[in-house]
Amino acid sequence: MKILSLEGVCKTFSKRWVALYNVSFALDSGEFAFLVGPSGAGKSTLISAVLAQIPIDDGMIAIDGEYIDNIPRRKIPYIRRKLGVIFQDFKLLPDMTARENVEFALRVCGYPKKLIRMKGNELLSQVGLGHKALVYPHELSGGGRQRVGIARALVHSPLLLMADEPTGNLDPHAIEEIMELLLSINKQGTAILMATHNIELIERYNFRVLELSEGNLIGDRPSRHESREHKSEGSQNDSTQWNLPEI
C-alpha cells in the first residue's frame, strides 16, 4: 500500500530558483527511506509540500491515497494527523515541560484532559523519557530534546514520519540512540522519510535512498534487501542511479 505518492511535483519560488522539478516517487506503508542531496537541493521544500505548508505549482501529492494538492484548507489539519514531523532544531516550546510539549498538539485538538495526560506519559515512556516528564527543554541534552520531539511527532499515531535532518545537531552517541529509536518506530509499521547529510548513516543502514539535486530527483537506490530480491527474480535491467553529494 502506498502511504505517500508524488507525481510530477514542481515548485518554483522565483524565475531563477526552481526548488522542485517533475519529482515523482512513492513510499510504501512501513518503508524507511533516506532523502539526500546538498543544501538547496529541495529536501526541505519537498517535506513542506507534503505537509501542505506550501502550495505546489504542478503535479500531485497523495497521502494514504488522498490527493492533497487541491483539498480545502479546512481539511489540511486532518490530513496532517496522518503525518508526524521531526525537526533538526527540535522546535520545542521552552516554557513548557517535556510532557506539556508532547501534550500540546492534543490539547489544541480538544482531546479530553485525562486522555491527553495518559497519552503524554505513554509517549514519553516510549522514547525513554518517562522519568523526565516535568523537565524543561533547556534541562535536557540535545538527544533528550530530540526524543521529546519524536514523542510529539507520534501523538496522532501517524502513518508516516517526516524527519528533516533529525540528527544534524547531535553528537555521535545521541545520533546512535535516535536512530535506534527511529528503527524501533519503523518496525512497528510507521513509514519514515528522513532527510540527512550523514553519509555514514546512509552507508550503515540498508534503506532506500532518494537523491535530489537542484530540485530534480536524480537517484533512487532501493534498499539492499530489495536489490537482492530483484536479483533473485532474475532482473536484468537495473537503471538505479546514486550519486551521493560530497560533504
C-alpha cell at 45: 521544500
Asked if 124 and 97 count as a contact pair (C-beta separation under 8 A), the reply is no
Q: What is the structure's pLDDT at 244?
A: 39
pTM for this structure?
A: 0.87
Residue type, 130: G
**Main-chain dihedrals φ then ψ at residue 77, nearest 5 degrees:** -60, -35
The full set of domains in the chain, from first to last, is 1-82+158-169+184-247 (3.40.50.300), 87-157 (no CATH)
Per-residue DSSP letters for 106-162? HHHTT--HHHHHHHHHHHHHHTT-GGGTT--GGGS-HHHHHHHHHHHHTTT--SEEE
For the chain, the 3-state helix, strand and coil shares in percent, each to the nearest 5, are 35, 25, 35
Q: What is the structure's pLDDT at 78?
A: 87
Which residues of the chain, if any, have pLDDT below 70?
Answer: 224-247
Asked if 69 and 63 count as a contact pair (C-beta separation under 8 A), the reply is no
Q: What is the structure's pLDDT at 70?
A: 78
Strands 216-221, 208-213: pairing is: antiparallel
* Closest C-alpha among 193, 206, 213, 164 to residue 2: 193
d(CA 237, CA 247): 31
